[in-house]
Amino acid sequence: MKKSIPQIILICVLFVLGCTPQKNNDRQTNQTNQTPEVFAESKSRLYFDSFKSYRSNIIEELYNEALSKNEKLKVIDDKISEITSDSVELKTKAYLKFRNTNLDYFGNAETYTNTITDSVLRKSAIALLKNFRDDYDKKVSQHETKMNSIGSLKSNLSDQHSLLKLIITQNMMNNYQSNEMPKVEELESMIKDLELALKDAKAYIKSKK
């Protein structure tokens, strides 16, 4: 089965992340298992109270940290960004201008056609415009097919880019969960304190009845 360009890019990224020279294995393992730096208290943008937390975009923050630490990943990410923004705009700009110019003409021509009061002449003008539009559609059929392919591939690449961010950041979140999960005993202790306070309150109320 043939793989699309976005799928190939994602496979390359995963290959890059999974392959590390042997001499760096220990260092990479330690770094890989570390809690992400964005969660460090001195750098964190998190605001906590008892009921809520806030962060601008935790996935983007984590992914940007991953980019800063993995040069090969950043090269691929930069390539994706370039393709989906500058390259697409640059390489489709001329045709989009050409297409819009023609569509403007056909729109104005239809308006002119509708202003013809003589029914015979109007019918002739409509047929003339239709034939001209059909000829244009045939001329640009290959271009339109390519534009549809570009749109589809760009959308697919965007989906793959989002999937890539999820894969990278889920690994980082797994480290956070493994390293930073508070001990359940703290919660159990709080339950005991609450139960004891509740018991004392009930006993006092009962003694006053």
Residue 165: the pLDDT is 96
Residues facing residue 53 across a β-bridge: 48
pLDDT digits (tens, 9 = 90+) for 169-183: 999 999 999 999 999
Does residue 16 carry a pLDDT above 90?
A: no
CA 127 to chain centre: 47
Q: What percent of the chain has pLDDT above 70? A: 77
pLDDT tier at 10, thresholds 50, 70, 90: low
Cα separation, 29 vs 188, in Å, equals 34
Of the listed ranges 104-108, 115-119, 143-147, 202-206, the least confidently predicted one is 202-206
Measured between alpha carbons, how far is 145 from 46 in angstroms, rounded to an integer? 47
Quote the CA–CA distance of 80 and 102 in Å, as a whole number: 32
Q: What DSSP character marks residue 39?
A: G
What pLDDT was estimated at residue 9? 57
Residue 129 clears pLDDT 80, i.e. is over it: yes
Stretch 11-16: mean pLDDT, rounded? 56
pTM (2 d.p.):
0.71
Q: Is 21's pLDDT higher than 50?
A: no
Comparing 11-25, 45-59, 94-108, the range with the smallest average pLDDT is: 11-25
Out of 43-47, 101-105, 168-172, which region has the weakest mean confidence (pLDDT)?
43-47
Tell me what pLDDT residue 13 has. Answer: 57
